Amino acid sequence: MGAYIAKRLLAAIPVLFGLTIIVFLIMAMIPGDPATAILGSFATPENVARINRELGLDKSLLEQYFIWIGNLFQGDLGRSYALNRPVLDEVLERFSATLILAGTALILCAIFGLLAGIVSAVRQYGWADKLITLLVLIGISTPSFFLGLLLILVFAVKLKLFPASGMYAIYGGGDLPDLLYHLALPALTLSVVATGVIARLTRTAMLEVLRQDYIRTARAKGLSERKVIYKHAFKSALVGVVPVIGIQAGFVISGAVYVETVFQWPGIGSMLVKAISTRDLLLVQGGVLVVAAAYVLFNLLADVIQTLLDPRLR
């Protein structure tokens, strides 16, 4: 098992390297001249050449990549011109905020998605199943940016139960209750779609497993229905659902971009949107890289959990 995990970790290294290449190439493909972006359109040719030299843009693409990756290993992702601070600092700070938001949403959707899926499958065609199916359909049909706005209108503007934006209160906040208070609406918004997807998949997986021969064997052994469903069937269904939770992490991170924008959550998603509009390319590059790397590692974790569950994969 340990050997397997080590092998999977090793296998992730080329993927991470691939990521750096793709990210680097995308940024190199971006039209427009960074020097002009920095200096404005009235820059003198001498100043443009100086900036290009400073940025290493006069070298070949390959050389630029090696310099960039070398700096990367030293924790240097360059400086953000718009914010005038090191990209790494900004990205890490923003990323931790996103991690809180997306992590909470992911936990919520895994718990509620699995629960709803099981209830739906066990009570197939009953009222609970119909209700859940309908809610799931509504959930995955509602754009998260719209849901966020609705929640703000109802819970922040009308009922004044939760704040409309931000991560901490401006005055006197900063502790855990304050964070949870601010987290409630955005985390809920973010988890809705993924909960729906996981619930749907769990239901199908459970129903499929319940038809298997080994479930008949479990019943023929005289096991209680509770054991049949929650031990035998659920474990098999989980093997199929875990990688989907891994993929859903990608959707939750993607959704975070909208939710952060709507709730003005100081996360990496809203940072990226802003950085793209201000063409702060180094910041975009750093942000994309960190998020993608986190996503790769998360999927690795999902893989390992799946392997723990299913001995046939070892």
Partner 1 sequence: MSEAALNSQSRPKGKPARPGTATLLLNNTLATSGLIVLTLICLIALAAPVLPLPDPDVTAPANRLIPPFTAGHLLGTDDLGRDILSRLIWGTRVSLAVGLSATFIAALFGSLLGLVAGYAGGRTDALIMRGIDMVMAFPYILLALAIVAVLGAGLLNALYAIALVNIPFFARNIRGMTLGLSRREFVDAARLSGKSPPQILFLEILPNVMPVIVITMSTTVGWMILETAGLSFLGLGAQPPQADLGSILGQGRKVLFTSPHVSVIPGLMIFVLVMSINLFGDGVRDILDPRLRAGSLTRPVARTEVRRDNSAIPKPSARGGVLDVRQMRTEFQVGSSVYKAVGGVDLNLKQGECLGIVGESGSGKSVTAMSIMGLVPTPPGRIAGGAAYLDGEDLFAASDRRVRDLRGGSVAYVFQDPLSTLHPLFTIGEQLKEAITAHQPLSNTQATEKAVELLSLVRMPNARKRLGAYPHELSGGMRQRVCIAMALANDAKVLIADEPTTALDVTVQSQILTLMNGLRRERNSAILFITHDFGVVSALCDRVAVMYAGRIVETGRTEDVLNHPKHPYTAKLIECVPVLGEPERRLDAIEGRPPVVDKLPEGCAFADRCPFVQADCRRGEIDLEMSSPERGVRCLHPLNEEAPA
- Residues in 129-148 at the binding interface with partner 1, rule: CB under 8 A: 137-138, 140-146
Binding mask 101-130 for partner 1 (x = CB under 8 A): --------------------xx-x------
Q: Rule CB under 8 A: is residue 295 a binding residue for partner 1?
A: yes
**Per CB under 8 A, does 213 bind partner 1?**
yes
Give the type of residue at 187.
A
Based on the shown chain and the rule CB under 8 A, indicate whether residue 211 belongs to the binding site for partner 1: yes
Using CB under 8 A, which residues numbered 259 to 278 contact partner 1?
Answer: 261-262, 269, 272-273, 276-277
Question: What is the rounded distance in angstroms from the CA atom of residue 166 to the CA atom of residue 97?
Answer: 11
Q: Per CB under 8 A, which of residues 155..194 are in contact with partner 1?
A: 157
Instruction: Single out the residue of 1, 9, 15, 180 in contact with partner 1 (rule: CB under 8 A).
Output: 15
Nearer to partner 1, 35 or 139 (CB): 139
**Residue 149 Cα distances to 16, 168, 221, 294, angstroms:** 36, 19, 53, 28
Q: Which amino acid is at 43?
A: A
- Size of interface with partner 1, in residues (CB under 8 A): 78
CB of 79 to partner 1, least distance (A): 19
Q: How far apart are CA 214 and CA 222, in angstroms?
A: 13
Q: How far is the CB of 45 from partner 1 (least distance, A)?
A: 25
> What's the chain's length in residues?
314
Q: What is the DSSP track for 117-164?
A: HHHHHHTTTSHHHHHHHHHHHHHHHS-HHHHHHHHIIIIIIIS--S-S
Looking at residues 21 to 50 of the shown chain, list those that interact with partner 1 (rule: CB under 8 A): 22-23, 26, 29-31
Nearest approach in angstroms of CB 77 to partner 1 is 16
Contact 93, 239 (CB under 8 A): no
- The closest of 167, 164, 185 to 176, measured between CA atoms, is 167
- Does residue 53 touch partner 1 according to CB under 8 A? no
Given 116, 242, 288, 302, the residue binding partner 1 (CB under 8 A): 288
Per CB under 8 A, which region of 48-56, 80-88, 106-114, 250-258 contacts partner 1?
Answer: 250-258
- Exposure string (b/e) for 145-177, b if CB count within 10 Å is 16 or more? eebbeebbeebbeeeeebbbeebbeeeeeeeee
